Structure 1
Amino acid sequence: MSENEKERRIRPGTVALGALSGALAGFAALAFAEAVAGLVRPQAGPVVAVGGAAIDRTPTPVKDWAIRHFGTDDKLVLQLGILAVLTLFALLLGIAAPRFRRTAALGVLLFGVVGAAAATSRPDSRGVADALPSVVGAVVGAVVLYVLAGRLAPRPPATTEREAAPGDRDRRGFVITATAAALASAGAGALGRSLGGAAGRDAVASRRAVMLPAPASPAAAVPRGAGLRIPGISPFTTPNGSFYRVDTALVVPKVDATAWRLRIHGKGVARPRKLTYDDLVRRELIERDITLTCVSNEVGGPYVGTPAGSAYAWPICWPSAGCARPPGAARPTSSWPARSTA
């Protein structure tokens, strides 16, 4: 075997170290993307964005099947599946990286493009800002893989007896680089979690500060005997903590009551408006007990509950019919919604 063939030959252990390089690159990409998403918004993270795009394009029968079989864990199963696919591709790119450094690095960047496209295609996308987490994460991951793969490449022939033998890998450099990448990625991931948690705490605090006024039209008292005290049967009114949750949101929205806005716009709206939460609170409150059930709930299933609900009286204006009022609501003092031409 010639010297050139020996240098091109993959040395023992290179496959395992290459796979480790790919795993570290994938970890770095996701961790730094998480950190940037903490600055932008959690929904812009690549895993959440790709998962949301997948949910949007999944046929309804498949969604119903997932809810029936996985229940409220359906979103967790989806995210674990995405992470499993990303891990597999990261390992494959890492194995190929020692011989095809540029191609492997471009493969990491390609995943960044997929994540950015998914984030910007979401209905609530904020445009370029939502693409930043995937782009930054992919660039970091590509650099990590490129550098680690370089440490695994055979070194040129030694010029002195003290230098390494021809074809030896830079083992020390690989260990140092891999350790630094792992620590930096762990720090970036922790930073992203901290930023996301801080935003969530502020939102929760703003909601707890909200004081709802007494309803102008209170709900009727629950009739005696409506709550059957039978083991296995829930109470008539479902506590908030026990109410079912079935939705397609991979990240629960953290809504700040002080920053929340209701935008009234669209075709046929002559005067678009934006309303704050305080604007709604100043309107008359209607309270009703309404039983809600998920469309995927089977007979006797758990996805049903009766919250003590409240709604604000709101006039609905039509071109010739004037304003209609919800039953039991007093006539509003102002007609904020524009007249509809629909």
Structure 2
Amino acid sequence: MDPACARPGGPPVRAHHGRTAAQPLTERDITLTCVSNEVGGPYAGNARWLGLDLRTLLRQAGVQRDAGLLLSRSADGWSATTPLETVLDGRDALLAVAMNGQPLSPEHGFPARLIVPGLYGYASATKWVTDLELVANATGLSYWTTRGWAERAPIKTASRIEVPKPFATVPAGRSVIAGTAWAQHRGIAAVEVSVDDGPWQQAQLAATPGPDTWRQWKLPWQATPGQHRLQVRAVDAGGALQTSRRAPTFPDGATGWHSVLVTVI
């Protein structure tokens, strides 16, 4: 899955491989999230990316941290601006050429695309990259910011229930509530689940390779007959609790706690 961000058009056929870079390639597990992802929505996915370390590439070109914004352009005419400090602050920003052990497909950005953890895709995940340029500001340059979306796009802490599905029918007895939570580039420290607005219970967290990937979680549940409301929230690695305030995706990402209704028989 590659939910970088909603965008028009698609990759032109003219994309082709260039020469192999002399710089060593870096492989990292990174979760991407689209700013148009609703609370509990599907537009977040994890993959193993292989590519050039973008910070090293820019440093070799003489780029300094206070240079402003990194403007990336795509072969289909799309453009995005990324705060340069997020590329140079030590996170695993990549000019990626492969995904999950395979060269990028045209759908996922062949021959190269940007991956900058911690930012929504419209400001960090340009596909079919043709050139990179330093600019002082984003005025009139970034496709989505010219349409009213926020210029800065840090990913907000989010969590979702994936098992059971909304309106599912669940057998009474021993069951499990499970899902994922993410807060790139901060990381997830805890996930809590509430049943029928009862006390919050600590979920069990799976291991994760780092703060740029989501965390899977689960909570054993003794399901009793009737209708139940399940709700989840997360705490990032800095101790900040995911906000309960409901906000739409526009202009800088949705917020709120995800909940599902299920029937136990």
The TM-score, its normalising length taken from structure 1, stands at 0.22
Structure with higher Rg: it is 1
Kindly indicate which of the two structures has a greater share of residues assigned to helix: 1
TM-score by length of 2: 0.27
Q: Which has the higher strand share?
A: 2
